[in-house]
Amino acid sequence: MKSYRYKISIIISTFLIITIAFTSLRMTSNYTSTSKINKNYDWLTPNPSKSSASVIWPVNGTPIGLSSGHQGSPQLISDGDKGVIIVWGDGRNLTTGNDIYAQRLNSSGDPQWTANGVPICIELNTQFVPQLVSDGEGGAIIIWEDYRNPNDISLENSDLYAQKVNSSGDTQWTAGGVPISISRGFQGNSQLISDGAGGAIIIWRDGRDLTEYDIYAQRISSGGARQWALNGIPVLTIGSHSNNMGPQLISDGAGGAIIVWRDDRIFGDYDIFAQRISSGGTSQWATNGISISNAGSTQEHPQLISDGAGGAIIVWRDGRDGIPGKMDIYAQKVNSSGISQWTVNGVPICTLSGSQWSPQLISDGMGGALIAWRGNTKIYDVYTQKINSNGVSQWTINGIQISNISDTPEYSKAENLQLISDGKEGIIIVWSSYQNSSPSYKTFTQRVNSTGDIQWIVNGISISSASGSQNNPKLVTDGEEGAIIVWEDNRASPFLRDIYAQKVIEHTLPTSNHPSDIDAKNGDEIINWILSDDLGGGYYRVLANDSSGNFYIWQNWQPWINNTPLVIPINYTEIGSYNYTIEYYDLYNL
């Protein structure tokens, strides 16, 4: 962390006049500054007209998985205690093939489990593409694609398994995991949510009929028992192509789920469909789902969030204009009965020229949504829009531009977009951009407040300046209006990937008051320095110089409390001109 000292001169009179210059660490206009560097931390220059953000774990990130072989496809959730649980695919063991490992970090970024992670599944052959959800008790339920069985001889033959890990990193179910579906053919592209009772509802793309792909679902209890039919219940079985990127789901608020996907049942064009299933696994809407959008040409890549009233807001990529190379972003709201609430086939979110990609969304907490996507005519910048509960855009038409790659010719496209709530009705976004000069990917983050104002530096804060690529970022809230971000990293080798993490917080920098000149006639005068900070306190020390001009520690490091006078005594043993310097930082070492 780089911090800054600014001099404040105060006259103190004893029997002779003694001039003592006081110095505080934080910026005040009209004073000259000096600086010092604290090892292992870095201060990121903020947008001065907005709020400030800093990375507060070690520079360039905390290593999570540094074992031999590839570590990739990280996913993470909050641990419920301001830390995170991270899961990834791991190639350290050449004997068993790719395995599944996990790690927990506390709020300071310290690993809580075995170094480089605890094994979740180390069965023979490949296990990869893990997903996870909280178990509600500080642990996680984890699912993955699995090729352990003899018939799983290609990527078109895989099964699904699950495991539960507690807050201490101990697996809770059968060693190697509980089978979710071991039907013939492909089971993959899985997603899961909490069932609200310590278990999970899981959906996946399923190729058991060996001709087309369907969608199946399963519920598993907190004890690892399957609750629905062996190998899952059908959600979609019409012989058409389900979403090639996999179905998505959210809780319906009543122990069941709302699921969305694309399929080509109508004239071979991909459209958007949805289904609701109860806690008992029964479909609640029309068989094989209701139409969300069947506009002309292709609709694809749907995502959804709860509307807070038992329904959902769904966003997708849309080619209804029929113009080659042009794809827009549309959205629709469906209530708990499966009835669309907005314009038939959805409301436009962005219809700019060129192609829009990868829409993501979160709830605005008021029945609407905050949406982000990437798009442009030739390069992919990042955009965002807010819609209210009636589907009306609240910000600039076609969205607010978050990153403008034309301003930074070093970078070309933005990819791997993710977003979360900032806890203040705004969003924190993370993405990776391709660095032309390396070539490599670098990860950036930005915050947009509830009124659509960009809060951090233009084009986003760089999460790591390490060599190589920092790519495929994921993020969750840190529980304190900031974010914890995890990514794949190949700084150690261009041929191998490791897992790193970083924490970003928004804050008010601690500040000092500026004591007035003092007439020191009584010999008992003090310096009433007062420090203020939004985190409530930190640590400080005071330096002073001797008659030869050499600085020494007048008061060593000790805690300070927000807006409480420090009552610093003055050294009256010598007459002369002396400098007193207060150095301070807050609870995040800022």
Domain that holds residue 571: 2-46+510-586
Give DSSP secondary structure letters for 278-294. Answer: -TTS-B-SSTT-EEEE-
Tell me the pLDDT of the chain averaged across its residues: 87
pLDDT given for residue 519 in this prediction: 60
What single string gives the DSSP state of each residue in 311-366?
A: -EEEEEEE-TT--TT-BEEEEEEE-TTS-B-SSTT-EEEE--SSEEEEEEEEE-SS
Residue 154, pLDDT score: 60
- Confidence (pLDDT) at 576: 67
Q: pLDDT digits over 369-423, tens only?
A: 999 999 875 568 999 999 999 999 999 999 999 988 665 666 678 899 999 999 9
Residue 506 is encoded by which pair of tokens? 């928004």
Edge-to-edge strands of the sheet including 440-448? 411-421, 427-435, 440-448, 461-462
Residue 531 inside a domain? The answer is: yes
Handedness of CA 142, 148, 154, 158 (dihedral sign): negative
**What is the DSSP code string of 253-320?**
SSS-EEEEEEEEEETTEEEEEEEEE-TTS-B-SSTT-EEEE--SS-EEEEEEEE-SSS-EEEEEEE-T
Residue-level pLDDT at 537: 87
What is the pLDDT confidence band of residue 50, given thresholds at 50, 70 and 90? very low
How high is the pLDDT of residue 518? 59
Domain membership flag for residue 30: yes
Q: How far apart are the first and last CA of the chain?
A: 7
Domain count, the chain: 1
Does residue 205 sit within a domain?
Answer: no
Percent of the chain with pLDDT over 70: 85
Q: What is the pTM of this model?
A: 0.85
**Does residue 168 surpass a pLDDT of 50?**
yes
Is 202 within a domain?
no
Whether 62 is in a domain gets the answer: no
| 313, 389 Cβ separation under 8 angstroms | no
The residue type found at 200 is A
CA distance linking residue 262 with residue 240, whole number of Å: 10
Under 8 Å between Cβ of 303 and 314: yes
